[in-house]
Amino acid sequence: MELDLKKLNLRNVNDKLQNLDRKKNERDFTIINPEGNHAICAGLNNEMNVTIKGHVGYYCAGMNQKANITIEGNVGTGVAENMMSGKVHVKGNASQSAGATAHGGLLIIDGDASSRCGISMKGVDIVVKGSVGHMSGFMSQSGNLIVCGDAGEALGDSLYETNIYIRGKVKSLGADCIEKKMDKKHLNKLKKFLKDAEIKNFKAESFKRYGSARKLYNFKIDNSY
């Protein structure tokens, strides 16, 4: 079914996608003329396929559950923010805070992601085929962040148990983030992520793994001065 945002109200489009007609059982939708609208496909909670043909604004696919959403363009701040499950695929570039606070699912960005990609991740897996900006992975708690390009300043600042895999150069590491050994378990996991993102030109062995040094887990009085 085609949904034209030049003819339909955004609230009505989101309401239709959030409350599927059980009798018709339509599961495949195409949204045309998004024209940078904010919060398109927010709060979807059923298995369905949605393709957005064009660029979108803030918080596209926020709080997604189960849905498979493809954006054929660039996305604004907070794409897939607080996603719980499903898959969000951005064919262009992403602005800041992509995948912020997301608990699960898979976010794929074909281009670059701006600053704070994957902040406060809580279980989501994020694959960026380009580069990420500064403070990416900040305070991330669990999940995996895979970057095929470079990373900006303060990568993984104050992170917990998230694994960060970078193929390119890292401008600087954030507080308590260190390079870690890439063992067979992590290589196999990374190979699966690359396969799921249809990345065939990079080998898992060409990535480096970063994680928490675990020195910020406990309060130290010396750090308060």
Tokens (6 digits) for 117? 């990609």
* Identity at 152, one-letter amino acid code: G
Is residue 194 situated within a structural domain? yes
Instruction: Give the pLDDT score at 22.
Output: 80
Q: Is residue 179 part of a domain?
A: yes
Which CATH number does the domain housing residue 109 bear? Answer: 2.160.20.60
Residue 24 lies in a domain: yes
In a domain, 204, yes or no: yes
**What's the length of the chain?**
225
What is the rounded average pLDDT of the residues 121-147? 97
pLDDT value of position 184: 96
- Domain of 178? 2-215
Residue 156's pLDDT is 97
The residue type at 140: S
3-state secondary structure at position 222:
helix
pLDDT at 222 over 70: no
Number of domains observed in the structure of the chain: 1
Of 29, 26, 139, 125, whose CA–CA distance to 84 is shortest? 125
Return the pLDDT at 213.
Answer: 93
Predicted confidence band of residue 51 (pLDDT cuts 50, 70, 90): very high
Residue 220 placed within a domain: no
Q: Convert 30-98 into a string of H (helix), E (strand) and C (coil).
A: EEECCCCCCCCCCCCCCCCEEEEECCCCCCCCCCCCCCEEEECCCECCCCCCCCCCCEEEECCCECCCC
What is the pairing mode between strands 49-53 and 28-32?
parallel
Domain contains 198: yes
Confidence check: pLDDT of 217 > 80: no
Would you say residue 222 lies in a domain? no
The model's confidence at residue 220, banded by pLDDT at 50, 70 and 90, is low
**Residue 163: pLDDT over 90:** yes
Mean pLDDT of 53-77: 98
Q: What is the pLDDT of residues 89-132, one digit of tens each?
A: 999 999 999 999 999 999 999 999 999 999 999 999 999 999 99
160 sits in the region (left: phi over 0; alpha: psi -120 to 50; else beta) called alpha
* % of the chain surpassing 70 pLDDT: 96
pTM: 0.95
Per-residue confidence (pLDDT) for residue 25, from 0 to 100: 83
How distant is the alpha carbon of residue 206 from its chain centre?
Answer: 22
Cα–chain-centroid distance for residue 84? 11
Distances (CA, A) of 128 to 7, 93, 110: 33, 9, 6
Flag whether 140 is in a domain: yes
